[in-house]
Amino acid sequence: MLSQSPGPIGIFDSGYGGLTILHGIRQLLPQYDYLYLGDNARAPYGSRSFEVVYQFTRQAVLRLFERGCQLVILGCNTASAKALRTIQQRVLPEVAPNRRVLGIIRPTVEAIGNLTQTRHVGILATEGTIRSQSYNLEIAKFHPDITVSGVACPLWAAIVEANEADSPGADYFVGKRIDQLMRKDPLIDAIILGCTHYPLLMPSIVRHVPPGVRIVPQGQYVADSLKDYLSRHAELEKLITRKGTCHYLTTENPDRFKESAQLFIHEQVNVEKTELG
């Protein structure tokens, strides 16, 4: 039986993109302790099947539970789209009924109603997130008057992880996908960046997005939502330790993680290797 001892907030991502979510949360809630887990050895998840993403995500969540996390955030759109509901419905009741796992799609969806005037919204995301229709379904639930169009950007995350975000090739692929999205629906006035890697492509994205179209990265909205969630769940909030620390786990070479992580958060990180599966 898992203990009810206080522990850090867990943040999981298939790779490095969840570091942008972690950064947003730490900016708003610096008092808590955090434990980040990147399954970098098996990234990316974007094109993997629902079953594989679920199994990988389950392994990661259980590892974070073992390390004392009472609350885990899936800082990955693909995991949130393909695994969150099954984790909540199947895993938690069986192994950790008092612990919580949250995703990052709903906070952005809840906010989008205030960010569009035309009620036409675009999604740029991985192939898996687009195919899952998760954003479309969630937006339809909260904002049935909004029209949603999505385009998969299969190379964007790989470009970021290869440290090529400022390259001419990156600019070409960013422009190509944004043009494709705007051709699908020229009335779009807000574009959700539905992958946590994409904020690192922001200079290119800004160059190619038409004037008057708002770009919506997720970090701020996830952080605001988490703050609200903890204020409404005092019994869970009491089980989060508060020393302002942040530690990192990776399934790949720790030295490579340290080097790549600095692209996302611009600080030295304390990282150890872990095995999943």
Which positions of the chain have pLDDT values less than 70? 1
pLDDT at 16: 92
In this structure, are residues 39 and 249 in contact, taking their beta carbons and an 8 Å threshold?
no
In 120-143, which positions are buried (b, 16+ CB within 10 angstroms) versus exposed (e)? bbbbbbbebbbbbebbbebbeeeb
Whole-structure pTM value: 0.93
User: Token match 């990192």: residue?
Assistant: 248
Q: Which residues are catalytic?
A: 76, 195
**In the chain, what is the straight-line distance between the N-terminal and C-terminal CA atoms, in Å?**
20
Q: Helices 134-142 and 105-112 meet at what angle, rounded to 10?
A: 40
DSSP E strands in the chain: the ranges are 9-13, 34-38, 71-74, 100-102, 120-125, 147-152, 190-193, 214-216, 246-250, 271-273
Q: Is the peptide bond before 6 cis (omega within 30 degrees of 0)?
A: no
pLDDT at 1: 60
pLDDT at 138: 96
Q: What are 70-126's pLDDT values in tens digits? A: 999 999 999 999 999 999 999 999 999 999 999 999 999 999 999 999 999 999 999
pLDDT at 195: 94
Could you tell me which residues come within 8 angstroms of residue 183 by beta carbon, excluding any fewer than 6 positions away? none
